[in-house]
Amino acid sequence: MQMKLSMPFLVIALTFGTTALAQRIKGSDTVLPLAQMEAEQYGKKTKNTVTISGGGSGVGLSALLEGTTDIAMSSCPMKFHEKDKLKNAGKNIIELIIAYDPLAVIVHTSNPVKQLSREQLEGIFTGKITNWKEVGGQDLVITCYSRETSSGTYEFFKEHVLTHKNYSKRTLNLPGAALIVQSVSQTKGAIGYVGFAYIEKTVKALAVSFDGKTFVKPTIASAKNKSYPVTRPLYFYMEKKNEVKYKEFISYVMSSEGQKIVSEIGYVPAR
């Protein structure tokens, strides 16, 4: 069962007990609700302290570089310049995929458009397509909502859907996925993209095609069988020397119990 996320998960802190294991987790707002639930259940079992905050994948990786977090959450793989900075700082980093997420393209529920190709999405978010009638919809101006530049979701969408092209200057960047859902639900001509766990009944998820022929809606099943073309890994990044702080928590996240939580949140288990 997918857990619905109706509140903006921008900064969340959970504290259990006094032991400093997996003490600080920071980064991706996509991974945030999963980390929150994992920490809650882990805390009940172990009474260990877990403090969680969002802000975006880039924020988490910067905190890892600065030594102000033990685990950085990210919704995209670490970039070369980020790896280089960490290496130059003498940090040996471990990368762990904890789940997979079918990234959903969402529109207002009144929008008659049901599917878009990758080329159409590229045209919309780069500003070449500005009216829904150009893609079979109503004569209505398109309003694009995106994540902010520090977001791993922003980077993933730019790389895999826009093929590295720049977003239109008219694109409105928002600091959280829940805010994109809220904004799209209140704007008839809107379009945006969010992690699957954030989908609400107040918006409509579109089927997407990368070959222009087969259109697939984002579901857990289509992510598992890899038929949905915009599915991405979700990551934890950690410094090897601090393994004693997070080892027990990581073991819980990757256990059968922890991976069951992945499904409950609305993502696809990594194992």
pLDDT digit string, tens, across residues 53-63: 999 999 999 99
Other Cβ atoms less than 10 A from the Cβ of 113: the count is: 17
pLDDT at position 219 over 60: yes
Backbone φ, ψ for residue 172 (5° rounding): -95, 120
Q: Note the pLDDT of residue 60.
A: 96
Q: Which residues, 6 or more positions from 119, have their beta carbon under 8 angstroms from its beta carbon?
A: 212
State the amino acid at position 204 in one-letter form.
Answer: K
The whole-angstrom separation of Cα 185 and Cα 202 is 6
Q: Chain-wide mean pLDDT for the chain?
A: 91
Domain positions in the chain: 24-100+234-269, 102-224
pLDDT band for position 49 (50/70/90)?
confident
- What local confidence, expressed as pLDDT, does residue 19 receive? 43
pLDDT over 80 at 68, yes or no: yes
Q: pLDDT by residue (tens digit) across 138-160?
A: 999 999 999 999 999 999 999 99
Q: 173 and 146 in contact (C-beta within 8 Å)? A: yes
Topology of domain 24-100+234-269, per CATH? D-Maltodextrin-Binding Protein; domain 2 (3.40.190)
Q: How far apart are CA 223 and CA 229, in angstroms?
A: 8
Instruction: List pLDDT tens digits, range 225-265.
Output: 999 999 999 999 999 999 988 999 999 999 999 999 999 99
Domain 102-224 -> CATH class: alpha beta
Q: Are strands 115-117 and 93-102 parallel, antiparallel or unpaired?
A: unpaired
User: What confidence category does residue 21 fall into, taking pLDDT thresholds of 50, 70 and 90?
Assistant: low
Q: Whole-model pTM? A: 0.86
- As a whole number, mean pLDDT of residues 149-174 equals 96
Q: pLDDT at position 8, please?
A: 38
- Rg from Cα positions in the chain: 19
Same fold, 24-100+234-269 and 102-224: yes
